[in-house]
Structure 1
Amino acid sequence: MNTTASLNKPHRNLFLQNLLTFFMNRQALAVGLVFASDSVLFGSWVAHIPHIKEKLHLSDADLGLTLFAMPAGLIIMNPLTGYIIAKLGESRACFWSAIALTISICIPINAPNTAVMAFGLFLVGLASALINVAMNTAATNVERTQGISIMSSCHGMWSLGGLLGSGVAGAVIALHVSPSMHMAVVAGLILLATFLLQPVMNTIPSSSRTESGEKAGSSFVLPNQDLFLMIIIGLAVAMGEGVALDWSAVYLRETVGASSQIAALGFGAFSLTMTGFRFLGDGIIPKIGAKRWLQYGGLTAALGLAVAIVFPYPATALIGFAMLGVGCSLGAPILYGASMRIPGIPPAAGLATFATFSFIGFLAGPPVIGFVSESYGLYYGLSLVAAILFMSAGLARIVKLF
């Protein structure tokens, strides 16, 4: 074999090399498993939203209003995330927020009324806000200290967790297992995983100060034009993710008429394509270009929702949510990284500010859809998100990614 020719081959093994780097690095894999643990909980919960909606006799508007308790918790926690992470460090912040999340997410599934459900979701929002910033910062610390690229793979682990959570939930529903029992078992397993991962997480250097001396606890900054455009695009992508998370099962069950088992696969189809593209993202992004991907991704996501709306059948709706997953897959990894490279804004502040607004879109989008759905129908709620995603593709043409 000609060694020189072999070395000059196109980077056909680039994707495999990136994945091997991620999975063979203990710190990178540990952070990725934190991402996955977070998503397993959410993926398990969303599959049971139709159950809790029926159990509490909620209308679309009632469900939307109740779901809004989660972003309310996030908004309350946001000003405190930087302070907490600066005091605890990223690894301990991940640890305690994961424990809080596993406990609080068991409350809404067992809620006897909307007040208790809202309270539980509010606590979930508090914990989610902290773990979201902490785990993304931890991933950035691994990239910075080891000189590797893992952000897209970490977000791929988040998608894989959602796929696993929703897939198991679908099987659980088919077997008529109690949703309360299912969530209790999942929470217990995630709690165990959290304790097992902590020794490795503790080896990740903390970014208590950036190279410029800026405290990592600076968790909010007034966005300049570049960061503002990133936030708008991130909100659109996050709303697409939120639609799949909270409304895919409801749409498939109530609008399309799919069975409960098929309805649970809506988020699974979304997560399957998102997972695949995120694991390939560290190789795809340099080849295609970040800006070009954001444009193509926005268009693909909007088209996916259009397919689900125009062709309201179980198979076509699942295809539409799968396309939505492709379109939204690399938005977060691209924008999280870019938010830390904006001139004049400390990296920690850029990341925390973008992550906060992006997660608000992820959590607030579904309640907004509920309000629209109550007045006009779920078709129009999904159409609104499709229009926003289409708009984000246009904004991607002018945003500067540093």
Structure 2
Amino acid sequence: MNPNRARWAVLIIFAVHGSVTGSFASRLPWIADHVGVTSGQLGFALVMPAIGALCAMQFSAKLVQLMGGRLATQVLISAWCATLALPAFAPNLVVLSVMMLFAGACAGTADMAMNAEGVAVEGLLGRPIMSSLHGGWSVGGFLAGGLGALLAHRAIDARLHFTAVAVFLIIVGVTAGSFLPAGRKVPVGEKSGPAFSLPRGPVLIIGLVGFAAVFAEASSADWSALYLVQVLDAGEGAGALAYAFFAGAMTIARFVGDAVVRRFGAVRTTQVAGAVGTVGGVLVVVSWTPVVAMAGFVLIGVGIATVVPLAFSAAGHSTTDSVSSTNAIAGVATVAYGAGLAAPGIVGGIANVSSLTVSFGVVTVLVLIVALSAKALKPADKVSRSKPEPVLEPAIPSL
């Protein structure tokens, strides 16, 4: 197997995963109108994917171990792509919510599988790649979202849009997946770790670092625009720019992050990045003009961009056993992505009893905790010191 080809394959898988999210997000107004739901009802349905993902991730390690990394990634990414078409055909809120719950389960298990493959390819290459892989996810979401906006502008039916994109992405995902390392299958009956992927010990600490980073990311993504509008009396255009600058800064930082980690190591990179993100949080909290707040959100994006990829890498390289590695990655994913479910509500709840400024004070503290806890990610440095090892696989990859 060619490790460089596998690296591009897993990057494409990440982009495919992000493309499903971007496609769906771009047609939310159409779905709300088609199903006939209010903003509040749609908000309820949008909670379902996070719940589905959080629950399914508990079992994702078992799936990967039983099927092998390559086949599991192909099957799960295909399932995630296929669920894209479902919401467009929902006749009412109940059916939409059930579909979204199932879609979230597919998204979460596919996410865990592709991150496990990313860690495996990273080990083969002997250099950090996880940050750029997550950057690929962002690019996929951006491009798919742009296509969705164009099709929405032309009044193309979302049922046709989602179905065509789903079929295309399944083909791309399965084809790219054929170039991934197969991974070791754990025979039924052989000990393969706990049934539930709940992290313990050092892996739990890694997961909590990821939790803090995802909390800051989700809070900034969901509330940056409202912060400028409600706290600084900026226009909606300026609020949209705040989110765009934040997301853009994070994407760029992820693509350069691997080179930085390779040069300075995971711990030092996280310490400095966390400090940068903390400064950004302080700027947001004390901002007196929209420009200062935008600069703060840019720094937050730069500061947390590499943390979650490094958390997955640290979990995967915290053990040399492939089974334990898969369980560790699934455990970190469960804890870290739990923040994505908790953050919007917590930030809103704090804002209700105090203000959004206080909410982002809490976010700033969490980013500071990331910087102070950087040593937990030290296992991610193992990949830079490792030498690529040959992997024996069948000459023709199986699907």
Matched pairs, number: 372
How far did residue 256 of structure 1 move? 5.7
What TM-score, normalized by structure 1, do the two folds share?
0.75
Rounded to whole Å, the distance in 2 between the matches of 1:375 and 1:124 is 34
Q: Does 1:401 align with 2:365?
A: no
Q: Does the aligned pair in 2 maintain the 1:41–1:187 contact within 8 Å?
A: no
Q: Tell which deviates more after alignment, 99-108 or 27-36.
A: 99-108
2:139: which partner in 1?
Answer: 160
Query: How far apart in 2 are the matches of 1:292 and 1:92?
Result: 36
1:285-316 deviations in whole A, cap 9, x for unaligned? 13223222222222322333443444376544
Whichever residue aligns with residue 278 of structure 1, its letter is: R
Q: What CA distance in whole angstroms lies between the structure 1 residues aligned with 2:246 and 2:146?
A: 11
1:85 is aligned to: 64
Map of 1:287 onto structure 2 = 263
Q: Distance in 1 between matches of 2:31 and 2:224?
A: 15
- What is the CA–CA distance in structure 2 between the aligned matches of 1:64 and 1:153, rounded to whole Å? 31
Is 1:125–2:104 an aligned residue pair?
Answer: yes
Displacement, 1:339?
A: 1.0
1:337 aligned to 2:313? Answer: yes
- The root-mean-square deviation of aligned C-alpha atoms, in Å, is 3.9
Q: 1:130 deviation in Å?
A: 0.7
Question: Once the 2 structures are TM-superposed, how far is the Cα of residue 376 of structure 1 from its aligned partner?
Answer: 4.0
294, 301, 317: which is aligned to 2:277? Answer: 301
CA distance in 2, matches of 1:183, 1:379: 41
Structure 1 stretch displaced more, 187-196 or 125-134: 187-196
Q: Check conservation: 2:213, 2:307, Cα contact below 8 A.
A: yes
Q: Which residue of 2 aligns with 1:349?
A: 327
1:87 corresponds to which letter in structure 2? Answer: L
2:164 corresponds to which residue?
188
CA contact under 8 A between 1:298 and 1:393: conserved in structure 2? yes
Given that 2:78 and 2:173 are in contact with CA atoms closer than 8 Å, whether structure 1 keeps it comes out as no
Structure 2 residue aligned with 1:229 = 205
For the 8 Å contact 1:86–1:208, the answer to whether it is kept is yes
Q: Which residue of 2 aligns with 1:72?
A: 51
Per-residue deviation, residues 259-310 of structure 1 (Å, max 9, x unmatched): 6666555443233222222222222113223222222222322333443444
d(CA) in 1 for partners of 2:78 and 2:250? 26
* Residue type at the aligned position of 1:153: S
- Residue 390 of structure 1 is matched in structure 2 by 368
Q: Counterparts in 2 of 1:1-400, with a 5 A limit?
A: 25-46=4-25, 56-58=37-39, 67-105=46-84, 115-116=94-95, 118-165=97-144, 172=150, 176=153, 181=157, 185=161, 188-189=164-165, 191-209=167-185, 220=196, 223-251=199-227, 263-311=239-287, 315-342=291-318, 346-396=324-374, 399=376
Q: Which amino acid aligns with 1:384?
A: V
**Offset, 1:250:** 4.9
Alpha-carbon distance change, 351 to 376 in structure 1, aligned in 2, over 3 angstroms: same
Deviation at 1:338, TM superposition (A): 1.2
Equivalent residues of 1:299, 1:327 under 8 A apart: yes
Residues 118 and 376 of structure 1: CA distance in aligned 2, closer, same or farther (over 3 Å): farther
Letter in 2 for 1:236: A
SS at match of 1:401: helix
TM norm structure 2 = 0.76
Structure 2: 5+ residue runs without aligned partners? Answer: 380-399
1:391 aligned partner, one-letter code: I
Contact conserved, 1:153 with 1:279, CA < 8 A, in 2? yes
**Structure 2 CA distance for partners of 1:53 and 1:153, relative to 1, 3 Å:** same
Q: Is the 8 A contact 1:209 1:216 kept in 2?
A: no
Q: Which 10-residue stretch deviates more, 288-297 or 94-103? A: 94-103
Quickly say closer, same or farther: Cα 1:66–1:189, change in 2 above 3 A: closer
Q: Secondary structure at the match of 2:80?
A: helix
> Hey, what does 2:395 align to over in structure 1?
none
Q: Distance in 2 between matches of 1:279 and 1:81?
A: 27
Q: What amino acid is the match of 2:57?
A: N
Letter in 1 for 2:327: A
**Unpaired segments of 5 or more residues in structure 1?**
1-20
CA contact 2:37–2:93 (8 Å) conserved in 1: yes
